[in-house]
Every structure is written in structure tokens, then in C-alpha cells.
Amino acid sequence: MKIIKIRSLVAAFAITLAGEAIVNNGVCQEARADTCRNAIYAEILGPGLLYSINYDYRITTHFGLRAGVSRWSVPAIFVLVNGSIGFTGFPITANYLSGEGSSHLELGVGVVPVILTLNGEEVFFGSNVRDRKTLVMETMTMGYRYQPPDGGIVFRIAFTPLMVFDKVVPFGGISLGAAF
């Protein structure tokens, strides 16, 4: 029941973000000339679980899209009873930045398509994944983002809960990169 409510919230938020982009697109065309639209940053933890490398594109001053990649492998001591796990994930989110200037509240929703490579006991986030080597996790972002309008350092810290196998897993991440 909780997952259905969370998914409804995610859908409502996505519709709100899309509406903002459509309504403000004409107004933000002028503002965009003074705003750096591209950012590249590395994130520790977050939707990539251990780390991810990400590209963020600002469609308008407030609305943007992020795509990233994460690939890692760890021994059993971290996630499995016995064996090892390889993870390849692709965080994809839509995000909204509030306010003007350099400091923003960042809100977002997205998905993380995942490819698992398992060796040994096949458990991921407490669920048996023996017959499942691919999955799609859902994620949200609620946090602080420092990104000057004219470019430079990007710093993010956020709460990024994951929805995996009908479970909500509290998570967070911290990012550092550059806007251009």
C-alpha cells in the first residue's frame, strides 16, 4: 500500500515538473542565455548505490534532466551471505531547482535500470534475485544544490530513497562537479 502511495506521489510530481517546463519554456528562453545548462558531477552513494558519474542538462532555469552511470563489484561481506555482486546502474531523473542565484532546493523523481552480476547466494536488498538479473529501481531526490548560474563548482547533498522490490530503502548521496 505504501508503494502505491509513493508511486502516485512520484507520478504527480513528474506531471507538475512537466507542466512547469511547458508553461515556463517561453519565459526561460531569455533567462537561459545567462545560465549554464550543462553540469557533470560525481556522486558518492545516491541512486548509483556506491557512486555514479552524471550529466545534468537544464532544459529551463528550473527544470532539468540527469543521466548517469555506475559500475562496481563488491565481495559478499557487503551485500551477500556468500559470493559477490556486480552492479551496473543508470540513474535517470527529472529534477526541479527552486529559486534564483546559486543555492537551490532540488526535487526530483526517476528510475535506475540495473544489471546485476551475481556469484554465490543471490540476495540483493534482502530479496532473492536468482531468476532476476535485471531490474528497475525507482528513486526520488530531495536536497540542497549549489550551482552558480554562470558556471563553476556544483555541490549537491540529498536524500535519495530507493524503491526496490516493493520496499522503500532510505538512502542519500553527495556530489561534486562542474557546470558549464
Is the per-residue pLDDT at 35 higher than 90?
A: no
Higher confidence at residue 130 or residue 134?
Answer: 134
**Least confident piece of the model among 109-113, 163-167, 171-175:** 163-167
Extract the C-alpha cell encoding 88. 551496473
Q: Which residue has the cell 508511486?
A: 7
Query: pLDDT at position 131, please?
Result: 52
Q: State the average pLDDT over residues 4-25.
A: 50
pLDDT of residue 27: 39
Task: Go through the chain and tell me how many residues it has.
Answer: 180
Read off the pLDDT band of 17 (50, 70, 90). very low
Alpha helices in 33-155 (DSSP H): 76-79
CA distance 15 to 11: 6
H/E stretch holding 6? helix 2-32
Candidates 29, 54, 35; CA nearest to 156 is 54
Q: pLDDT tens across 44-79, in order?
A: 999 999 999 999 999 998 999 999 999 998 775 555
Which amino acid would we find at residue 110? G
Q: Helix, strand or coil for residue 117?
A: strand
pLDDT of residue 85: 77
Q: Which domain holds residue 52?
A: 2-179
In which band, very low, low, confident or very high, does the pLDDT at 163 lie, cut at 50, 70 and 90?
very high
Identify the H or E element spanning 10: helix 2-32
Per-residue pLDDT at 93: 98
Which one, of 100, 85, 26, 82, lies nearest residue 59 by Cα? 26
The beta-strand segments (E) located in 23-121 are: 38-45, 51-58, 63-75, 83-89, 92-97, 103-120
* Sign of the C-alpha dihedral computed for residues 20, 11, 58 and 158 taken in this order: positive
Which of 32-41, 52-61, 118-127 has the least mean pLDDT? 118-127
CATH code of residue 80: 2.40.160.20
Instruction: Look at the chain and report how many structural domains it folds into.
Output: 1
